[in-house]
Amino acid sequence: MKKIFVLLSVFMLVVCFAQAQEYAVLTIEVKDVYGTPINDARVFVNYLYTQPEDEAIPDQFTRNGTAAFNLETRREYMFTVTKAGFLPHTEMVDLEEDTEISVVLEYTQNTPIVHMKRYTLLPEEGSPGEHFQLHIVIENEGTGDALNVSVAVAPTQFFSPVQPSSSAYFERLDVKKVATVKLTFAVSGEALSGVYDLAITISYQDAAGLPHTSQGTVGVPILRKSLIKLLNTEYPEEVVQGELFTFSVEIANIGRFPVNGLYLDIESDMDWEYYSYYIGSLEAGDFDTFESEVAAEDAGEHTFQVTVGYVDDFNREHYQEESFSVTVKEKVKETLPPQQEEGLWDRFIRFLKAFLGLG
């Protein structure tokens, strides 16, 4: 019985040791000839010498240019990487421990691929009646040079090219090269706030003269600008301590478009009849008046802040602040002179005036 227990213990120790050393990770990184990771490349892994108990190894597609397999160690494997547009790659690996292998796939033919890499708008938000610049960066990420490259912007209702043309031309764009297109547009004064799409078409040819095109879209935000100004502010610069005075100001819309969600707030250490005023909508060229009685109990200079806020057509809040000051003078208490005691002669004169009706 003791002999069986010892043999069983030795067998379990061997099995545990074998399991601890049984698997390793084979990582395969797939890139193109320019070092760019290739996604969705299919990777096949098979045993070089198959054993009856071996199970099939599922294929994988690369993500971020990588595929990883958990495989038995001390075995030899063959793997193949395939991807449309590239020549297949096959390689053998003797797996003893975690291993990383880098694979470079070569293109099957030299083909230019020109696309819009990025774009910039100056300013980031345009406004009706104003200009904006569109900077487009194009790149040839293919394997062949591009010839007769043209970048064209489709015409729109509210954008007009300031330059004679809304397109650009390049005689060639070599592999992995970039080029910048700068176009200027005027925004119609009738344009409403919103994001307008500009359709971009890139046309080019390969070395054999075959035509190619790619499409892109640029979103151009247009915002009607609001212009609010405080006008005709009236209040005394000096007041007496505890004295009531009136502060009034006109809130004017000096822009070309209506303003919504308009309000006024007062921040002050004095006592105000009204600290806030909600106007709501204010049409272009119109104004509203805020008026409040104010009193200050403490002498000295008092600065108060008037804040005007509103929301734009994108429902974003804006505000502007303006400060005013008033000097409060200390109130002087009036004192009456002490009354002198009335003498006998003064009393006689007063009686005589009263008797004669002289007051």
Residue corresponding to tokens 């294929």:
59
* 44 CB burial (10 A radius; 0-12, 13-18, 19+): middle
CA 138 to chain centre: 23
d(CA 163, CA 183): 7
**Tell me: domain 228-329, CATH 2.60.40.10, correct?**
yes
d(CA 98, CA 118): 39
Per-residue confidence of the chain (359 residues) as pLDDT tens digits?
444 443 444 444 444 444 445 999 999 999 988 788 999 999 999 999 999 999 999 999 999 999 999 999 999 999 999 998 888 999 999 999 999 999 999 888 788 999 999 999 999 999 999 999 999 999 999 889 999 999 999 999 999 999 767 899 999 999 999 999 999 999 999 999 999 999 999 999 998 889 999 999 999 999 999 999 999 999 999 999 989 999 999 999 999 999 999 999 999 999 999 999 999 999 999 999 999 999 998 999 999 999 999 999 999 999 999 999 999 998 877 665 666 666 677 776 776 676 666 65
Determine if the pTM surpasses 0.85.
no
**Tell me: domain 114-222, CATH 2.60.40.10, correct?**
yes
Taking only the tens place, the pLDDT of each residue in 223-250 is 999 999 999 999 999 999 989 999 999 9
Domain definitions of the chain by residue range:
20-104, 114-222, 228-329
How high is the pLDDT of residue 10? 40
Q: Are 73 and 97 in contact (CB under 8 A)?
A: yes
Taking only the tens place, the pLDDT of each residue in 159-179 is 999 976 789 999 999 999 999
d(CA 206, CA 146): 5
CATH topology of 20-104 equal to that of 114-222? yes
For domain 20-104, the CATH superfamily is Carboxypeptidase-like, regulatory domain (2.60.40.1120)
